[in-house]
Every structure is written in structure tokens, then in C-alpha cells.
Amino acid sequence: MKCVVAVAVLAVGALAMAGCAGDEGGQGGSPASAASLPPPPVTATPSVSNLNDVKLPLDRYTTTIDQLIDLDYASKAVAADCMKRFGITWRFGERAELNALRDRTNRLGLIDEAVAKRAGYHADPEHADDYTQTDRDRTTLTDDQALVLLGTTPGRKAPDGVPEGGCLGEGHRRIAWNLDEDAWLEDLTNEAAGRTFADDRALRIAADWSACMKASGYRYAKPDDANNDARWWKNEKAAASKIEINTAVADVRCKRKVGYLDQMTSILSAYQQQIVEVNAERLETAHQHTQDALKNAATVLSGR
């Protein structure tokens, strides 16, 4: 699959799917006025070997994967109690794992040469389990039961007495988890990434990378073109071909040669810092809301 992601992705959507949440996704609101500002200066370009080791400006405010898992699990625990009021036993399964979202190594494009050698641009077979969520203990709900859980399903509304947003909505409210704020934080993260890749400095880095690739016998204008080469994706389940692997290895080596990760991380950090400065007050409020929700979640889960 095309999973070498060029933009940062929060787990809100993944958790919503894992928990069948549909009540409070919202649009989260758009970033303030940062997008209309001129490109921020890059004051330093430190050496970066792995994006996992970098503290980005928005990291202070975004909900971590472990925090999202706790909030999700506590919400489901409350929802399960709510379902009992309607005579439904809902086993909501194990905690979500979301391991694929923990690793930022290749967030700005394929960087790991070992992965390139094993899998090209495809999902690394050594970490295949990271992309699956096995939940054998979860109850399969009927349509009527799902209506109680979610509060609404396409073309149907929940019966009287079901809380707004269903029992899952009750769970979110009990711990005061604001999914709209998490979606907004995701918007900010994606805004910074999008502006980074469109930045003239990033385009110059891509041009340097392209020249390096050409010298190695490959013609691509930018890294995404190599990742998205249609030849690799005729059958996403098939193992990477030798040609794909050779291309991916050349890609990673050219990125290293032109200082791709160092420079792109610096540009991304500058855009995130600009967004933080524009949205400082709201970000602090969202951060405090998350801390409060985590305390509430811990209370719900204590003794379970």
C-alpha cells in the first residue's frame, strides 16, 4: 500500500473506526491565519538521523498515541455501561494498538534504507502486524444495537432515551474528550506539512534529489513521484519487485546525499512554530482539556 506518508497523521480517525465512533468527529475547525503568513525563516539545520528523535513544536499539544488509546478505551468502558441500561452486553475488546502511527521515521518520505531493501515502497513485512488490529473479544452488534451505541446510522435515528451521540457519545462526554479539538490539532499538523512540501526551499531540495536520482539512472521530479510510480501499485498485496527495491534504495541514498531529512525537518519545524505562535492561546486551552480528559479517563479505568 502507499503508506510512506508525507503528512503527519493523528490517530483520531483510526480510533473512530476502531470504536465505530460517529457522533463527534466534526471538522475540528481550520488553523487560524498562519496559512496567509509569509514562509517562516529557518534559523538552523541540525543533523537528523530519525524523525522519532526530533521534538517538533506541535508535539507539546498533540495528543500522543498512548493518550489517544487511553481516552478511547475509557470512552468505550463508559459506553459499555450505558449499553447495559438498554439490555445490551457490549464487549468492546482490547485496547487499540495503533503501532503503525507511533513511528515517524518515514513520515517525510522513505528514509530507512533497511526498509527500502526489504520492501521498497510497500509496507515493511517485518512490521505487518502494526497495520492490523486484532480484536477477537469484541461483540458484533446488530443494526439495532449499533444504533444505541452510535445514536444514529444511515437513514435511522436512535429510539427515545438513547443519549445524544449514542452510548459512545456519552462515553466521550463523561471523560470530557473533545474530538473536535483533536481533529483541529490534526488539521494544524497537516497544514504545517502541506506548507512544508510546497515551500520553495523544499522544492529546491527536491530538485537536488532529482538530479542525484538522474545520475543514478532514475528520472523523477520529486520523491513522491518515485513512491507513487504506478508500476509498484498494480497489485498492492504483491511483494516489491527488484526494480522497485533498487529504486527505493537509490531514493534513500540520494535523500541522504542532499541532506533531505535535515533540511525538510528544519522547514517543517519552522512552519509548526509559526502555527504555534498564531494559535498559542487556543493550543494551550486544548492541551489543558486533554490533560483534564486523561485524568477523567484514569478515574474511569481505575479498578477495571
pLDDT given at position 56: 97
pLDDT given at position 137: 57
pTM, whole model, 2 decimals?
0.85
pLDDT given at position 183: 95
Q: Which residues of the chain are modeled with pLDDT < 70?
A: 1-33, 128-137
pLDDT given at position 29: 46
Q: Are 25 and 19 in contact (CB under 8 A)?
A: no
pLDDT given at position 18: 38
pLDDT given at position 32: 56
